[in-house]
């Protein structure tokens, strides 16, 4: 088996930008929200995976889109030591951004995102690059993707596609390539 892929569905959750009544699935946004139900759920999933499968603890990754991307940032803050790398999409860390610790990351964003504004996401990427000690000069990594190397071994890739608030299927190849290259020491 090359990989174990887990794609959980969040519970109904009030959204910050949409769905304030919480009638759609989503994820908690900050430590303590909803009594940390989603962090506890993540912990239980990982425990079960470790019991039922041979999990390589040096190759655990997280990704999510939109609210799931925000939860990816929350996992980075609250469970960062577990991951080899993360890949949030169409999201920002918000008020927890100052709690990030160095970790390889790829951020996926649309140039025309009407919901999570590109300016917000670019500022998030700048913050991520500062946290990870990245060079301000990037190099081509793949189509739509620029790699910003880090002297501390925590590179950041910015994947910018021409669309809106969507996860482009072609980003999968880039995320997989990046995840395969990142292994915890």
Nearest to 156 by CA among 168, 166, 169, 146: 146
Stated pTM of the model: 0.95
Residue pointed to by tokens 């002297």: 151
Has residue 93 been placed in a domain?
yes
- Looking at the structure of the chain, the number of domains it has is 1
What does DSSP assign to residue 82? G
The C-alpha atoms of residue 185 and residue 183 are separated, in whole angstroms, by 6
The C-alpha atoms of residue 135 and residue 149 are separated, in whole angstroms, by 6
Residue 113 belongs to a domain with what CATH number?
3.40.50.1820
The C-alpha atoms of residue 78 and residue 19 are separated, in whole angstroms, by 25
Has residue 115 been placed in a domain?
yes
Structural domain span for residue 85: 57-181
Has residue 61 been placed in a domain?
yes
Has residue 76 been placed in a domain?
yes
One digit per residue, the tens of pLDDT, for the chain of length 185 reads: 688 999 999 988 887 777 778 888 889 999 999 999 999 999 999 999 999 999 999 999 999 999 999 999 999 999 999 999 999 999 999 999 999 999 999 999 999 999 999 999 999 999 999 999 999 999 999 999 999 999 999 999 999 999 999 999 999 999 999 999 999 98
């Amino acid at each position: 088996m090359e990989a174990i892929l887990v794609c959980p569905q969040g519970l109904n959750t009030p959204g910050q930008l949409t769905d304030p009544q919480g009638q759609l699935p989503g994820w908690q946004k900050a430590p303590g929200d909803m009594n940390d139900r989603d962090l506890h759920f993540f912990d239980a999933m990982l425990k079960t995976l470790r019991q039922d499968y041979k999990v390589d603890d040096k190759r655990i990754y997280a990704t999510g889109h939109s609210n799931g991307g925000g939860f990816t940032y929350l996992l980075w803050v609250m469970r960062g030591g577990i991951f080899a790398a993360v890949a949030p999409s169409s999201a920002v860390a918000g008020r927890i951004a100052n709690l990030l610790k160095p970790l390889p990351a790829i951020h996926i964003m649309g140039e025309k995102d009407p919901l999570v504004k590109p300016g917000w996401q670019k500022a998030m990427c700048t913050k991520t690059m500062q946290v990870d000690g990245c060079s301000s000069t990037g190099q081509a990594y793949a189509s739509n993707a620029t790699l910003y190397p880090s002297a501390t071994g925590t590179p950041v890739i910015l994947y910018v596609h021409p669309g809106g608030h969507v996860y482009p299927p072609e980003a999968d190849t880039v995320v997989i390539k990046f995840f395969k290259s990142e292994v915890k020491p």
